[in-house]
Amino acid sequence: MKVPVVKSILAANDQIAQENRQLFDEKGVMAVNIMASPGAGKTSLILRTIERLRDKARIGVIEGDVASSIDADRIAQEGVPVVQINTGGGCHLDANMLRAALPSLNLDELDILFIENVGNLICPANFRLGAHIQAMLASIPEGDDKPYKYPGMYQGVDALVVNKIDLLPYVRFDMERFRKGVAALNPDVAIFEVSCVTGKGVQDWAEWLMQKKDTLLRRG
């Protein structure tokens, strides 16, 4: 009896996700779902990306957290429209949560919408939101074994940002082993090695996003 229930939950979520995607397409907004473990640097990456794209694209953010509005407050200080979703204990955002938050943003005035998912390396991979880009953020202190331990998170993403490369001299992390594990799961994923502290590599990530946005708009 449990399997049909799980399937029905995911099917209902996927239906709402499709409706979210249709809305984004109608408004000409590229939605980017950013997933990672707690502390990997999701908010820092968004802030660094805002710095690079502020004059090139109109950006909005939806922040997902179990509690508080700490990250949303940091985003708001940059003058970027932001909405906070608190899951109250839930380990991921789902399509219905996102749909409920969207009316709080004026999508007609946005080009890119960053959705910062709840910090978790399991559940977010199973619940589609309707985003155009699925982005995974890994960080050097987490270790090079994460693709082997959490394959589901790495298999379905379009982009992988490896953050905190400034710590490579101080942390045991084998980039070759890490990349080999990623390639076995997702050989076509775009990989960016960045440091949100120094800014290294962020420009490549930002330019890739703009290329994706332009491609999506041309299709529309």
* Tens digits of residue pLDDT in 97-146: 999 999 999 999 999 999 999 999 999 999 999 999 999 999 999 999 99
Domain membership of residue 133 (yes or no) is yes
CA angle 138/136/204 to nearest 5° reads 85
Q: pLDDT band at residue 220, thresholds of 50, 70 and 90?
A: low
In a domain, 55, yes or no: yes
Torsion, Cα of 67, 61, 30, 195 (10° steps): -90
Beta strands in the chain (DSSP E): 30-36, 59-65, 82-86, 112-116, 133-139, 159-163, 190-193
Residue ranges making up the domain that contains 48: 28-219
Residue 109 lies in a domain: yes
pTM of the entire predicted model: 0.94
* Residue 11 within a domain: no
Domain assignment of residue 200, yes or no: yes
Mean of pLDDT over the chain? 94
- Answer for the pair 179, 145: CB distance below 8 angstroms, yes or no: no
Could you give the 3-state DSSP secondary structure of residue 30?
strand
- Is 195 a domain residue? yes
Query: Residue 189: which CATH number?
Result: 3.40.50.300
| Residue 113 within a domain | yes
**Domain count along the chain:** 1
Tens-digit pLDDT profile for residues 169-201: 999 999 999 999 999 999 999 999 999 999 999
Q: Is residue 189 part of a domain?
A: yes
